[in-house]
C-alpha cells in the first residue's frame, strides 16, 4: 500500500513538471523567418512583439552569428540577454558608419534621424550632405579613431558599424558605455542583389519594413529585366576590370561581387574561371599576356584620363581597349566634396551598375539610357 502511494505521488509530480514545461513552451513566442531571397549575411525573424535580427556574417572570419531584438515602444518583452542586445524602433537618433548605409537610409526617408557620422567629408548623398553642412549631423572623427566624447554627447540609440575582422578597439569601448552596436555585413555579400537586400535590415530598425520591401522589389525587377535584355547576345565583349597599384594588379576573382555584375551583363571577363570571391594579384606583364586583346577596360585604378593612363606604364598603350579608346571608369563621377558616387550608391542601386555595363558593352540595347556611374576616359 505504501509503495502504491509513492508511485501515485511520483506520477503526479511528473504530470505537474510536464504541464509546467508545456505552459512555458506555449508562452515562448514563435519566430517565423521573413523571406530574404539573396542576402547571405542576415535573417529577420518577426514575432508578435519584437523582431529578431540575426547577423550571420558580422565581419570577415566570424565564427558565430549575432542576434539583436528590435521592439516597438510599449511592447512588453522578457529581456533575457544583455541590455545592448535590445533596440527600440523606429530609431530616432543613430549613427551609421559606412557611406553605403546612407543611400539606403535616404530611400527610407530617415536621414534626419542620423546624428553623427565618421569622416563626413566622404558623404555625397544630397539630402544627407545638406544636413551635414547645416551641422545637424556631426563629424565624430575618423572611423578608426572615433571621438567617444562627441559620440556620447550625441546620445545615440544605436551605432550601425562595420568591421573587417571584428577587432575594433573603439567599438569595444563604445559598447562598454552601453551604446548598442550592430555590425552591418553588407560588404561581405558576393552578389549585387544580396548586397542591395540589406535595405530590409534598415527597414526593421527604422520602422519602414513595407517601404524597404517595396523599394527592393522594384530594384530586383529592374535588375532582372536588364539581365534578361542581354541574355541572347551572341558576340560577348571581352573585358578587363581594375588596374595596378605599385606594380601589383589586383583583379576580382571569378566568384566575386564585381565578377557577378560582368557575368549578368553578359561580358566575357578575362578571369571569370578563377575560384573565390576575393582578389587576384598579378604583375603588369602577367595581366598583359592574358588580356592584351580585350575589347573593354573598366576602371584602370585611379587613372582619370587617357593621357595619365598611357603615361602610367608604356605597356598600357598596347592593350586593344586602349588603342580603340574603350576605357571606362567611375572615378570621374564625384559628389560635392569629392567622394566617389559609385562607392556610396552602387550597393543599393545594382540595377544602375548593370545598365551602365550593358550600355558600355552593347549600347544598341539601351539607346536612350544615360550612364549613372561610368564615363569614358578622355
The per-residue pLDDT for range 322-341, each reduced to its tens digit, is 999 999 999 999 999 999 99
**In the chain, where the domains are located:** 42-220, 230-376
Cell numbers for 346: 552602387
**Mean per-residue pLDDT, 200-211:** 97
* Cell numbers given for 119: 569622416
Spatial neighbors of 304 by CB under 8 A, at least 6 apart, are 329, 331, 332, 377
Do the two domains 42-220 and 230-376 of this chain adopt the same fold? yes
- List pLDDT tens digits, range 253-275: 999 999 999 999 999 999 999 99
Instruction: State the average pLDDT for the chain.
Output: 89
CATH of region 230-376 = 3.40.50.1980
Closest by CA position to 344, among listed 110, 187, 166: 187
CA angle 343, 59, 254 (to 5 degrees): 60
Reported confidence tier of residue 81, pLDDT bands at 50, 70, 90: confident
Please give the pLDDT value at position 136.
98
So what CATH class is 42-220?
Answer: alpha beta
State the pLDDT confidence band at 10, using cuts at 50, 70 and 90. very low
Report the C-alpha gap between 271 and 277 in whole angstroms.
12
Residue 165 has pLDDT above 70, yes or no: no
pTM: 0.89
Task: Answer yes or no: are the C-beta atoms of 181 and 84 closer than 8 Å.
Answer: yes
Amino acid at each position: 500500500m505504501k509503495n502504491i502511494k509513492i508511485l501515485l505521488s511520483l506520477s503526479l509530480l511528473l504530470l505537474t513538471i510536464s504541464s509546467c514545461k508545456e505552459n512555458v513552451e506555449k508562452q515562448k513566442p514563435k519566430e517565423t523567418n521573413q523571406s530574404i531571397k539573396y542576402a547571405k549575411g542576415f535573417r529577420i525573424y518577426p514575432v508578435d512583439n519584437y523582431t529578431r535580427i540575426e547577423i550571420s556574417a558580422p565581419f570577415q572570419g566570424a565564427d558565430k552569428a549575432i542576434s539583436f531584438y528590435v521592439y516597438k515602444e510599449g511592447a512588453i518583452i522578457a529581456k533575457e540577454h544583455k541590455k545592448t542586445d535590445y533596440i527600440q524602433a523606429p530609431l530616432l537618433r543613430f549613427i551609421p558608419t559606412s557611406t553605403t548605409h546612407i543611400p539606403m537610409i535616404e530611400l527610407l526617408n530617415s536621414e534626419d534621424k542620423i546624428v553623427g557620422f565618421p569622416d563626413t567629408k566622404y558623404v555625397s548623398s544630397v539630402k544627407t550632405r545638406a544636413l551635414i553642412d547645416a551641422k545637424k549631423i556631426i563629424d565624430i572623427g575618423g572611423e578608426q579613431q572615433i571621438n567617444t566624447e562627441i559620440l556620447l554627447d550625441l546620445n545615440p540609440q544605436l551605432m550601425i558599424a562595420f568591421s573587417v575582422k571584428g577587432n575594433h578597439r573603439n567599438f569595444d569601448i563604445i559598447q562598454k558605455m552601453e551604446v548598442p552596436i550592430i555590425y552591418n555585413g553588407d560588404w561581405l555579400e558576393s552578389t549585387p542583389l544580396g548586397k542591395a537586400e540589406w535595405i530590409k535590415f534598415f527597414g526593421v530598425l527604422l520602422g519602414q519594413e513595407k517601404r524597404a520591401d517595396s523599394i527592393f522589389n522594384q530594384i530586383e525587377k529592374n535588375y532582372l529585366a536588364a539581365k534578361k535584355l542581354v541574355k541572347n547576345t551572341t558576340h560577348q565583349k571581352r573585358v578587363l576590370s581594375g588596374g595596378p597599384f605599385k606594380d601589383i594588379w589586383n583583379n576580382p576573382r571569378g566568384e566575386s561581387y564585381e565578377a557577378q555584375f560582368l557575368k549578368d551583363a553578359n561580358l566575357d571577363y578575362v578571369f571569370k574561371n578563377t575560384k573565390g570571391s576575393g582578389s587576384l594579384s598579378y604583375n603588369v606583364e602577367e595581366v598583359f599576356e592574358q588580356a592584351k586583346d580585350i575589347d573593354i577596360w573598366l576602371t584602370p585604378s585611379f587613372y582619370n584620363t587617357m593621357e595619365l593612363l598611357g603615361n602610367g606604364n608604356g605597356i598600357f598603350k598596347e592593350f586593344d581597349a586602349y588603342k580603340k579608346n574603350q576605357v571606362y571608369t567611375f572615378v570621374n563621377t564625384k559628389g560635392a566634396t569629392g567622394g566617389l558616387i559609385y562607392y556610396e550608391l552602387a550597393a543599393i542601386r545594382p540595377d544602375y551598375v548593370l545598365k551602365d555595363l550593358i550600355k558600355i558593352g552593347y549600347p544598341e540595347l539601351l539607346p536612350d539610357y544615360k550612364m549613372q556611374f561610368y564615363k569614358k576616359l578622355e
